[in-house]
């Protein structure tokens, strides 16, 4: 997680409000809140198996996570952050994020959900509305590839930045986009 730690230090401010899309077990959530005094961190994940994506950890057939029960993962995350009033768990798909967060409420968004191009694109479009002007859209797994991903995060991020003429900085596997409205 050294590249992620750099993102926290460089782009996430003390007292900020942000969202992490794709929480899984809460490792990065914990790194964020232990590194910075965050005012509010929305931690959004459906915590549901998605057999449509068999090669991905949430697909249910990946050898490393074959027997993972997503309800159990969610319950462990709830226990992990139950005493932290600044962490707000949202068990939902990222496509519904605008139901939970107000326009321009966020200082930053960290996108690490479904890596298929169309879902990364939708996450970027939704987060652009929710992140204030001058805030950051941070994305994991920029170079990630999967035959089902239709170009994955890289294609989505490049298209998004071109569409809105936004600056893109790539740091190893992480992408940083300054949200200019």
State how far the Cα of 111 lies from the Cα of 104, in Å rounded to an integer: 17
The predicted structure's pLDDT at residue 49: 73
The predicted structure's pLDDT at residue 145: 83
Task: Tell whether pTM > 0.75.
Answer: yes
Q: What does the mean pLDDT of the chain come to?
A: 91
Instruction: Please state the rounded mean pLDDT for residues 96-125.
Output: 97
The pLDDT confidence band at residue 163, using thresholds 50, 70 and 90, is very high
56 contacts: CB under 8 Å, gap ≥ 6: 50, 62, 115, 146
State how far the Cα of 97 lies from the Cα of 99, in Å rounded to an integer: 5
Q: Is the pLDDT of residue 41 over 70?
A: yes
Domain covering 2-178 assigned CATH 3.40.50.620 in the classification: no
**Rounded alpha-carbon distances, angstroms, from residue 87 to 75, 111, 123, 136:** 15, 17, 20, 19
């Amino acid at each position: 997680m050294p590249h992620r730690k750099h993102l926290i230090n460089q782009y996430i401010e003390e007292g900020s409000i942000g969202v992490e899309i794709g929480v899984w077990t809460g490792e990065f959530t914990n790194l964020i809140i232990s590194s910075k005094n965050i005012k509010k961190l929305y931690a959004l994940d459906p915590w549901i198996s998605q057999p449509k994506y068999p090669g991905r950890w949430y697909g249910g057939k990946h050898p490393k996570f074959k027997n993972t029960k997503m309800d159990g993962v969610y319950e462990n995350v709830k226990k992990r952050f139950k005493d932290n009033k600044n962490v707000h768990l949202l068990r939902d798909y990222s496509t519904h994020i605008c139901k939970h967060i107000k326009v321009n409420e966020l200082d930053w968004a960290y996108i690490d959900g479904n890596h298929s191009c169309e879902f990364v694109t939708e996450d970027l479009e939704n987060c652009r509305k929710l992140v204030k002007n001058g805030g950051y859209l941070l994305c994991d797994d920029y170079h990630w590839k999967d035959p089902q991903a239709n170009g994955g995060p890289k294609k989505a991020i490049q298209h998004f930045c071109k569409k809105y003429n936004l600056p893109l900085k790539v740091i190893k596997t992480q992408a940083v986009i300054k949200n200019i409205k």
